[in-house]
Structure 1
Amino acid sequence: MSDYISINGQLTPYDDARIAPFDAGLLHGAGLFETLRVRNGKIFRGAEHLARITASAAVMNLPFTLGLGQLQEMMADLLEVNGLTDARARLTITRGDLHEATAEQPEPPVTLMLSASAFAPYPAALYEKGLTAIIAPYKQNPESPLCGHKTTSYVDRLMALREAQKLKAGEALWFAAGTNFLAEGSISNVFIVDKDGVLATPPLHVPEKTNQRLCLPGITRQVVLGLATEMNVLPHERMITITELLAAKEVFVTNAIMGVMPVTHIEKHNVGNEKPGELTMKLHAAYNALLETETD
């Protein structure tokens, strides 16, 4: 746990940190967050993370503006006071203290929190042997206005992860309500190498329904799409059925902390030959190399 946390730009000892009792993040879950990978004091793909949370804030009518330079300066101060260089950081914004709303200014200033803790990587054995995932017992709702946004209304994801952990699994894969189409993981985006050797991942939006999001526009997801293209592997963003998922030669999941993580079992089903696939490991290595290059 950090010794200090940044609240509205002010460094505060963790034990003294406070938010208002009427903060909308506490009362209504009205907030957004970004999980950031920091290496050598540098935020990996910080501009992309900031662009995503800013776009989501606009959708949720949160009056949020923060420049990349401001974020980098805040992060540098936070890392220094906590004695960190490699960190897992989190940027959180909420709608703010509703008690401060007035007739003249009905939208209070957002609450902005930045925290960081020492980076703890996933065990190397998971990358060597692969992760087990379950099918989430809950469904993704593309018609929800929160779908595809990284909101602080996150308890359903944690409930699904808890179900996965009960079964000694590390991720729960969500399908869209009323369909058998794959959406995303509880904390990740999902890729497959299908039975024909084609790299595929669910699209951001439901086809022909651009107002319905299917999954989070993951920053790591976007990096992997770019890396695949550089390898002359054409990635396909398309709908994926449960049948295609179970028939896939390779499956992997992505996020800012795990990078590219192979999935070798889906519940009791074996993925491929029960070992991390060739393309998965190439993308894993390429992602790690890019992370090092951009943060050296």
Structure 2
Amino acid sequence: MILVNDQFIPRENVHIDIEDRGYQFGDGIYEVIRVYDGKIFRLDQHLLRLERSAKEIKLVLPMSIQEIKEKITKLIAINNLSTGIVYFQVTRGVAPREHSFPNNRVSVLTAYTTEKERPLDKIQNGIKVVTTEDIRWLRCDIKTINLLGNVLAKQFAIENQADETIQIRNNIVTEGSSSNFFIVKNGNLYTHPANNFILKGITRDVVEEIAQKLGIKFIEQEFSLNEVYKADEAFITSTTVEIMPVLQVNDTKISHQPGQITKTLQNEFSKLL
């Protein structure tokens, strides 16, 4: 079943209008949430971010945050989702194709569920990443459905036999195509400041909470690719990859196995789950 605004509809009966502004302009926002054993992980934080994204692009949500929460929860139950993800987006709705906002616009909420197991092998054994220029717009803090820059970055990783692409803007490492990026140096965590150049991830917030609990310094500070090469450890975070060790960046080995700080964070994350 698919959720369309306040209705639950069989997938084969769902109709997306050709003039939906999400389809024609990428004029919308989205969230992806994790479900473990039928329970939603950090839904409230995702909904707060959805609300913020809506405000930043002047989009009026079709219902209250509480109503969205209730509908998402019901969708998970209807589809009997055990372990997987819920994708939901809100577009500015259907209107004749003009760049300016339509009058009397009615936004459209769409949500669906997908069974998806945890990527335990890569979480345990680590991955390789590559780097490329960050060509995205200047409001990466908004979780918009307009993701072409991210798509190109992810494809670059695939074409170079890597799992993720880490993006670089003006010699500063920003984030992955669909993840936040961290390095560890002398026992301290470093990641790009949560400004307009990155998306402030929910799992990134969880890592910060864990670090504070364990007394690990969480430092929001810009760093270069050269500093990445000299790091003791590196990892990426996101809703779908959780906390995933990075063992190699381009042709440079960061470590031969996941580092101790990374594993400590993973262990604490597992306790939360």
TM-score by length of 1: 0.86
2:207 corresponds to: 224
Q: State the AA in 1 paired with 2:246.
A: V
Matched, 1:182 2:173: yes
Give the superposition deviation at 1:137: 4.3
* Counterparts of 1:138 and 1:107, CA distance in 2: 36
Q: 1:47 aligns with which of 44, 63, 79?
A: 44
Structure 2 unaligned blocks of 5 or more = none
Deviations 1:81-138 (A, max 9, x none): 322232211110111111499xxx814111101110112221x321232111000244
Q: Is the 2:51–2:65 contact (alpha carbons within 8 Å) kept by the matching residues of 1? A: no
Q: 1:81 aligns with which of 60, 78, 81?
A: 78
Q: 1:202 aligns with which of 174, 192, 195?
A: 192
* Counterparts of 2:58 and 2:207, CA distance in 1: 30
1:208 corresponds to: none
* Counterparts of 1:137 and 1:239, CA distance in 2: 16
Q: Is the 1:260–1:284 contact (alpha carbons within 8 Å) kept by the matching residues of 2? A: yes
* Counterparts of 2:19 and 2:62, CA distance in 1: 22
1:126 corresponds to: 122
Following superposition of structure 1 onto structure 2, how do residues 259-270 of structure 1 map, counting pairs within 5 Å? 259-270=242-253
Deviations 1:237-294 (A, max 9, x none): 01111111111110000001111000001121101x321110001111111211x2xx
* Counterparts of 1:100 and 1:260, CA distance in 2: 41
Matched, 1:8 2:5: yes
1:257 corresponds to: 240
Give the superposition deviation at 1:159: 1.4
Following superposition of structure 1 onto structure 2, how do residues 80-229 of structure 1 map, counting pairs within 5 Å? 80-99=77-96, 106-122=103-119, 124-141=120-137, 144=138, 146-176=139-169, 179-194=170-185, 196-205=186-195, 213-229=196-212
Q: Is the 2:85–2:116 contact (alpha carbons within 8 Å) kept by the matching residues of 1? A: yes
Q: State the AA in 1 paired with 2:77.
A: E
Q: Is the 1:140–1:174 contact (alpha carbons within 8 Å) kept by the matching residues of 2? A: no
Q: Is the 1:127–1:261 contact (alpha carbons within 8 Å) kept by the matching residues of 2? A: yes
Give the superposition deviation at 1:42: 2.6
* Counterparts of 2:236 and 2:89, CA distance in 1: 23
Give the superposition deviation at 1:37: 0.4
Three-state SS of the structure 1 residue aligned to 2:19 is coil
1:288 corresponds to: 270
Structure 1 unaligned blocks of 5 or more = 206-212
Q: 2:228 aligns with which of 245, 269, 272?
A: 245
Q: Is the 1:140–1:183 contact (alpha carbons within 8 Å) kept by the matching residues of 2? A: no
Give the superposition deviation at 1:66: 4.4
Q: Is the 2:131–2:165 contact (alpha carbons within 8 Å) kept by the matching residues of 1? A: yes
Give the superposition deviation at 1:56: 1.1
Q: Is the 1:172–1:185 contact (alpha carbons within 8 Å) kept by the matching residues of 2? A: yes
**CA distance 1:68–1:61, shift in 2 (3 Å):** closer
2:69 corresponds to: 72
Structure 1 vs Structure 2 CA RMSD: 1.8
Q: Is the 2:6–2:71 contact (alpha carbons within 8 Å) kept by the matching residues of 1? A: yes
Give the superposition deviation at 1:38: 1.4
Three-state SS of the structure 2 residue aligned to 1:222 is helix
Q: State the AA in 1 paired with 2:153.
A: A
Three-state SS of the structure 1 residue aligned to 2:135 is strand
Q: Is the 2:62–2:109 contact (alpha carbons within 8 Å) kept by the matching residues of 1? A: no
Number of residue pairs aligned between Structure 1 and Structure 2: 270
Q: State the AA in 2 paired with 1:224.
A: V
1:25 corresponds to: 22
